[in-house]
Amino acid sequence: MTPTRHEFRAGAQAGLPFILVIAPFGAVFGVVATEAGLDLAQVMGFSFLVIAGAAQFVALQMMVENAPVLIVLAASLAVNLRMAMYSAALAPHLGSLSFARRALVAYVLVDQTFAAASLRYEQTPPRTPTQKMAYFLGVAAPVVPVWYLATWAGAVLGSAVPPGLPIDFAVPITFLALIMPMLRSAAHVVAALVSIIGVLLFAFLPYNLGLLVAALLAMVAGAETERRMAAR
Amino acid sequence: MSYDAWHIWAIILGLGAGTYLLRLSFLGLIGSRPLPPWVLRHLRYTAVAVMPGLITPLILFPQATGGAPDPVRLGAALATIAISLWTRNVTLTIFGGATVLFGLHFALN
Domain endpoint, select from A133, A164, A195 = A164
Verify that A137 and A225 share a domain, yes or no: no
Domain co-membership, A43 together with A145:
yes
| A158 in the same domain as A108 | yes
Cα dihedral sign for B64, A17, A147, A77?
Answer: positive
Do A15 and A76 share a domain, yes or no?
Answer: yes
A108 lies in the same domain as A198: no
Per-residue confidence band for A161, with pLDDT thresholds at 50, 70 and 90: low
d(CA B62, CA B68): 7
Q: How far apart are the first and last CA of chain A?
A: 45
Global pTM value:
0.81
For residue A210, the enclosing domain spans 183-232
User: Is B56 part of a structural domain of the chain?
Assistant: yes
CB-CB under 8 Å, A173 with B101 = yes
In a domain, A170, yes or no: no
Same domain, yes or no, for A27 and A87?
yes
- Shared domain check, A118 and A216: no
Average pLDDT over residues A193-214: 89
The number of folded domains in chain B is 1
Domain of B77? Answer: 50-108
Residues A9 and A63 in one domain: yes
B101 in a structural domain: yes
Q: A194 with A146, same domain?
A: no
| Average pLDDT, integer, range A127-139 | 96
- Does residue A232 belong to any structural domain of this protein? yes
Write out pLDDT tens, residues B12-57: 999 999 999 999 999 999 877 888 889 888 988 988 898 899 889 9
A21 contact partners, CB below 8 Å, separation of at least 6: A112, A170, A171, A173, A174, B94
Nearest CA in chain B to A52: B19
Q: Decide if A169 is inside a domain.
A: no
State yes or no: cis peptide before A125, omega within 30 of 0: yes
What does the pLDDT read at residue A65?
Answer: 76
Residues 158-217 of A with CB under 8 A from B: 164-166, 168-183, 187-188, 191-196, 198-200, 203, 210-211, 214-216
Q: Which of A164, A191, A207 is the last residue of a domain?
A: A164
Cα nearest neighbour of A15 on chain B: B91
* Residue A153 sits in the same domain as residue A190: no
- ipTM of the predicted structure? 0.86
- 40-79 in A: which are within 8 Å (CB) of B? 42, 45-46, 48-52, 54-56, 59, 63-64, 66, 69, 72-73, 76-77
Tell me the mean pLDDT in the region A194-215: 89
What is residue A45's predicted lDDT score, i.e. its pLDDT?
97
Inter-chain CB proximity B46 and A89 less than 8 Å: yes
Lowest-confidence segment of A80-94, A127-141, B69-83 by average pLDDT: A80-94
Question: Quick check: A175 pLDDT over 90?
Answer: no
Looking at the fold, whether A126 and A200 belong to one and the same domain comes out as no
Mean predicted lDDT score pLDDT of chain B: 91
Residue B69: list chain A partners with CB under 8 A: none
Q: Where residue B58 falls among pLDDT bands split at 50, 70, 90?
A: confident
Is the pLDDT at A142 greater than 80? The verdict is yes
Q: Write the CB contacts of B26 (distance below 8 Å, at least 6 apart in sequence).
A: A84, A87, A88, A90, A91
Q: pLDDT tens, A6-51? A: 999 999 999 998 898 788 888 888 988 998 889 999 999 999 999 9
Cα–Cα distance measured from residue A168 to residue B95, given in angstroms and rounded to the nearest whole number: 15
Find all residues with CB under 8 Å of A32, minimum gap 6, and list them.
A57, A60, A154
Q: Which amino acid is at A138?
A: G
Same domain, A78 and A107: yes
For B10, name the nearest residue in chain A, comparing CA atoms only: A69
In a domain, B30, yes or no: no
The 10s digit of each residue's pLDDT in B60-94 is: 998 888 889 999 999 999 999 999 999 988 888 98
Chain A CA closest to residue B54 = A211
Is residue B18 a part of any domain in this protein?
no
User: Is A219 domain-assigned?
Assistant: yes
